[in-house]
Structure formats: C-alpha cells, structure tokens
C-alpha cells in the first residue's frame, strides 16, 4: 500500500487531461486525502499540450514533489514537452494510449526503464462505451480508480452530476466508460500492490480550492469593494471570481481597456475612500508602475497582486517563476518604498491577502502581493478558514478637530497622517503626483521634498520588526540554514523534514514579508549559521541578492536557484544540505600547518 501517490497526465489540449485530474482530486479530497494538483499548459491560445500533476497522500503534503509514481501519456510528443515537470523514474508505472503505435519495450523515455508499462486502448474504449473520444478522460479516471483505489464511488457521483444536464444517454455512456477503465485494470492487475492506503478516520472536512480563488475570497473578507483590472495569465481568475461574487457585498468590478486604466481606477477608488485592488502578472506590472508611483506619493492604500510567471516580456506565461521580486521592490521611480508580501501555499494566500489590505490601510500605501502561477492555479486541500482570528484594519480618518484645519500630509511622529475622502466636510485636499507640502499644495522646495521623503520612509520602520510575518522552523541554534519563499517554501519545508529525519542540524526561515528587508530578523536568524542556502526559482536568486544588500550574513551562505519550469526537488535540497554538513566537519578538522 502507498502512503503517497504522485500521478502525472499529459496529452493534447482538448483531451480532457485537466478534467481527469479535477475528477481525481475532487474524489480523493472527499474521501479525506491530502491533495495538491498543479496544471501546466503550452502557451498557445488554442490547442497545444496540457498536463496535470496530482499528489495524493495520507499525511499533509507541502509541494508537488519529485518523480512520478504513475505517468499517463495520451500522446508521447506532448508528454515529452513537459520534461522535468513530469519526470519518469525506474519506480514509475507508465500507462499510455495504444493508438500511438509505440511498443511497450520501446518507449521514448531516454535513460530510464519504468517499473511497469501498460498499453491501453483508451480512445477505442471511450468511443465504444460512451460513443465519443472526448470520454478519454473518463476512461483514465476509471483506470486510476481501479489500479490505485482512488475514489470510485465519489467519481461515479461526480460523473452523474457533471453530465446530468446532457441527458440520461450521455450520463450512462460516461458511466460505462468509467467502468470500462475499472474492468481493464481488474483484467490487467499491477505486478505489485500500489493502492493508496485509506485516509485517517475522523478527519474534518477540508476545502479544495486554488490560490486565485482564495485571493479573491480574502479580498472580499478584508472589505475590498472595488477591483479594477485587465485579463492576463495567470491572474485572470481573481477578476473572474470577484466579478461573480463581489456585487453580493456591495462591490464593483471594472474590466478596463488596459492595465494602466485598471490601476488608475483603483487609485481613484482608494482616493474616494474605498478598499481597492488590482491583479496582474509581470508585463502588466510594468504598465502599472507609474500609477503605483502616484499612489505612493499621494499615500493612497491599494493592493496589487502580481501572479508571477516566466519572463521577461511574454516569457512563459503558463509556467511559474519567482523572478519579479526586483520589479516589485525596485521598479518605483524616485525614492519609493512599498511593502511586498508573498504567500507560500494556497491556504496561506488568504491570510497574506488580508494582511496586504491591513498594511495598505494602516500605512496608506500600495502593497504588492507576489503570488506565482503554481500557487495561483494549483488546487489544494486546505483547512477551513477561521475568520474570527483575523483583525481588519481601516485607514486612519481625521477627527473633527483635525478637520478644522486639515493637513492631509501632516508630518507626524509615526509618519502616518489622517486621510479624508470626498464629501467629508473640511476634508478637501489635492492628491496629485507632484511633490507637496503638509496640506497638499505643490512645492518645488528641496527641504520639503526631503522631509516628505523621510515621512514616507520612516512610517515603515515598525514593519521591519514584525516577526509574525516570518516563520522559523527547526533548531533555532542550528549551524546550517535555509531561506525560501513563495511556492518553493513547501519544497524547503519537506527538505527540512528529510534532513531532520537524518539527524542533520538545520533550520529554515520563510519570510512572508520580502520588502522592506527586516534586518533585525535576518540578523538574529543568521547569528548561529555557518553554512546555508537561499532556495528560490529565479536565475538571479533575487531574494538572496536583496537580503545581501541589507544584511551581513556569512559568505558561506549561497544561492540554490533555478529558472522557472525547472522544478526544485526536496531530495535535491537534502543533497545540498548533506554537502554543507561535510563542509562544516571538514573546516573543523583542518590539519595543523607544517612548521620548519
């Protein structure tokens, strides 16, 4: 019996690959398993390759993990396009479409011989039992249910519900296709039992959702009543969710004519006193930069979500990468600082989004949330959200006494000054992109510009001491350290578990706050460190370089980074950690120098 099962399915667009994955993960979640499903596509508008990758387990899972236990190929050319995203190992069971004409002993998998190979007439079975080759995904679901014991009854219920509006004949045809898959599995049993062990009894019901939907739901909970944006992969689902739901809570969605107009409307909504938000990806962030500068100098709260993808330019719009940190932190023109947050999982997106709104309102600033394609579009089982644990922060409004002689940009001890909105008696002021004095009048005074810069920067000083925005795991005095963020943090967390099981003294820092750099927190973390790794998915190791600008950590702390679409595996990180242990031991036992 397996405790943890990783399944990869690939085919052409329109083969229903992702639909098959959706059926499997839904059934597994209903039965009580912990699940993650990532989706990957070619960047073509229509057609091209599509894949999904599922990890189903009895215990909680932190990332999609390494080599596949089960590989399903409807088309070998498309399967191979995913390369390292769907790695086949000597332990993998390969299931493939018979009509490809490939012999089981001549699979196009260079350098590896899978444990078991099953050639299945998937399309033929779909046409025979459902009357259409579109039922290939249903046959696949039946094969996996039969061989690995995944959610047979739950999937049958789902099939009947999904096709109920298409009539009894369609429903029964798909049920027959599903059963045909089960029957094939029964007639061709696995050489060894790989069925997934039963989930733990008595587990509470979990949510099954993705990061984009979680982000949109969190925005509504935080009090967002305006969204302005423009569709861009892989963030579009945030706007789509809000378009369906926000009106129920008195909110509005504007799909603007372009990225600039979208954030311009958000700046206007914030000026009008509303909690407001936009969402985009790297190319859209480039277009929003000028308006983010306006919101910074006018000290207007807003949340901007950047769902990162491979870049630069159009890059790889359907693949995950963590390469927009430099853009988020440094692309503001002039002396400009804005907080940057990053969630580490689908469940973490909710609290990160709420925190972004709280920071935006408290510090009267744009806040950038760096999600990424994996977190945004992967499905994951998460615990139900206990909203009673969250505090919602509102912007500081002027008192009646302050409105008597209102100074919107008053130089206060904290750097935060009260903010009015149109219609508030006595609260009129000019919010513009030009430098201003305390009441908001334009100024070209170098002295006033320096004082306003100081105001806009010093208000963030308390943020650098927010230890609740950082998680430290492992022995706090360990000599070996890891730092990781975003979706790759789950890889580092699993690597930490593996290292601890081997008795390695390792600790892990996961920052939710990426910028401004919290120097005191990093300094405390690195105090015991002799060797370490920054683990991230960008060619430049961007967090490593940002932190190194501000924190004097040991030169023996190095970057372990890969470009997007090249997964970092927990076992790879573990191998690096073992090397660091050997390095420390070697440095402690250097031979005495020879003396003449």
Mind listing the pLDDT tens digit of every residue in the chain (596 residues)? Answer: 789 999 999 999 888 899 899 989 999 998 899 999 999 888 776 667 899 999 999 999 999 988 999 999 999 999 999 988 999 999 999 999 999 999 999 999 989 999 999 999 999 999 999 999 999 999 999 999 999 988 888 888 888 988 888 899 999 999 999 999 999 999 999 999 888 998 877 667 789 999 999 999 999 999 999 999 999 999 999 999 999 999 999 999 999 999 999 999 999 999 999 999 999 999 999 999 999 999 999 999 999 999 999 999 999 999 999 999 999 999 999 999 999 999 999 999 999 999 999 999 999 999 999 999 999 999 999 999 999 999 999 999 999 999 999 999 999 999 999 999 999 999 999 999 999 999 999 999 999 999 999 999 999 999 999 999 999 999 999 999 999 999 999 999 999 999 999 999 999 999 999 999 999 999 999 999 999 999 999 999 999 999 999 999 999 999 999 999 899 999 999 999 999 999 998 876 555 555 55
pLDDT of residue 288: 97
pLDDT of residue 14: 83
Q: What is the spatial distance between Cα 436 and Cα 516, in angstroms, rounded to a whole number?
A: 24
pLDDT of residue 165: 86
Q: What is the spatial distance between Cα 463 and Cα 219, in angstroms, rounded to a whole number?
A: 21
Cα within 13 Å of Cα(71), Cβ side: 30
Q: What is the spatial distance between Cα 540 and Cα 543, in angstroms, rounded to a whole number?
A: 9
Prediction pTM value: 0.94
CB atoms within 10 A of CB 501: 9
- Name all domains of the chain by residue range, CATH numbers in brackets: 4-187 (3.40.920.10), 212-382 (3.40.50.970), 396-459 (no CATH), 467-588 (3.40.50.920)
pLDDT of residue 595: 58
Cβ–Cβ under 8 Å, residues 360 and 194:
no
Cβ–Cβ under 8 Å, residues 485 and 344:
yes
Cβ–Cβ under 8 Å, residues 280 and 343:
no
pLDDT of residue 358: 98
Cβ–Cβ under 8 Å, residues 4 and 61:
yes
Using the structure block, give the residue that is written with the tokens 């949340």: 303
């Amino acid at each position: 019996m397996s405790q943890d099962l990783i399944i990869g399915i690939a085919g052409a667009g329109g083969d229903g690959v992702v639909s098959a994955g959706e059926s499997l993960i839904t059934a597994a979640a209903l039965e009580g398993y912990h699940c993650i499903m990532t989706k990957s596509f070619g960047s073509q508008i229509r057609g091209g390759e599509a894949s999904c990758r599922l990890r189903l387990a009895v215990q909680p899972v932190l990332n999609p993990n390494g080599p596949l236990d089960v590989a399903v190929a409807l088309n070998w050319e498309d399967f191979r396009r995913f390369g390292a995203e769907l790695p086949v190992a000597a332990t993998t069971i390969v299931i493939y479409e018979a009509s490809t004409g490939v012999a089981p002993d001549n699979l196009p998998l260079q350098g590896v011989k899978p444990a078991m190979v099953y050639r299945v007439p998937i399309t033929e079975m779909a046409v025979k039992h459902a009357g259409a080759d579109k039922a290939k995904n249903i046959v696949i679901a039946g094969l996996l249910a039969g061989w690995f014991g995944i959610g047979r009854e739950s999937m049958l219920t789902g099939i009947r519900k999904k096709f109920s509006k298409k009539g009894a004949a369609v429903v029964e045809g798909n049920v027959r296709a599903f059963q045909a898959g089960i029957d094939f599995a029964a007639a061709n049993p696995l050489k060894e039992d790989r069925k997934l062990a039963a989930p733990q009894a008595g587990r509470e019901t979990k949510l099954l959702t993705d990061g984009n939907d979680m982000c949109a739901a969190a925005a509504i909970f935080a009090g967002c009543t305006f969204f302005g944006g423009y569709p861009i992969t892989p963030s579009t689902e945030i706007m789509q969710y809000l378009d369906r739901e926000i009106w129920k809570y008195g909110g509005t969605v504007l799909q603007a004519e372009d990225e600039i107009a979208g954030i311009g409307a958000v700046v206007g909504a914030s000026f009008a006193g509303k909690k407001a938000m936009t969402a985009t990806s790297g190319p859209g962030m480039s277009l929003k930069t000028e308006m983010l500068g306006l919101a910074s100098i006018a000290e207007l709260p807003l949340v901007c979500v950047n769902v990162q993808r491979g870049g630069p330019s159009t890059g790889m719009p359907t693949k995950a990468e963590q390469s927009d940190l430099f853009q988020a932190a440094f692309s503001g023109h002039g002396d400009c600082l804005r907080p940057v947050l990053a969630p580490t999982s689908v469940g973490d997106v909710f609290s990160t989004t709420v925190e972004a709104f709280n920071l935006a309102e408290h510090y009267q600033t744009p806040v950038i949330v760096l999600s990424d394609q994996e977190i945004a579009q992967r499905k994951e089982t998460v615990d139900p959200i206990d909203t009673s644990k969250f505090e919602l922060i509102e912007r500081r409004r002027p008192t009646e006494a302050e409105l008597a002689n209102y100074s919107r940009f008053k130089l206060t001890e904290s750097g935060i000054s009260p903010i009015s909105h149109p219609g508030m008696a006595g609260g009129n002021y000019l919010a513009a992109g030009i430098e201003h004095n305390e009441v908001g009048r334009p100024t070209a005074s170098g002295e006033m510009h320096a004082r306003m810069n100081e105001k806009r920067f010093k208000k963030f000083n308390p943020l650098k001491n927010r230890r609740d925005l950082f998680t430290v795991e492992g022995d706090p005095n360990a000599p070996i350290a890891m730092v990781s963020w975003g979706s790759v943090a789950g890889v580092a967390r699993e690597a930490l578990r593996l290292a601890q099981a081997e008795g390695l003294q390792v600790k892990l820092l996961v920052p939710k706050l990426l910028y401004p750099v919290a120097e005191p927190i990093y300094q405390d973390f690195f105090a015991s460190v002799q060797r370490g790794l920054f683990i991230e998915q960008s060619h430049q190791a961007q967090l490593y370089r940002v932190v190194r600008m501000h924190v004097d950590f040991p030169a023996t702390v190095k970057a372990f980074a890969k470009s997007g679409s090249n997964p970092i595996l927990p076992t790879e990180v573990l191998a690096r950690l073992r090397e660091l242990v050997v390095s420390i031991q070697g440095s402690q036992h250097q031979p005495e120098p020879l003396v003449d």
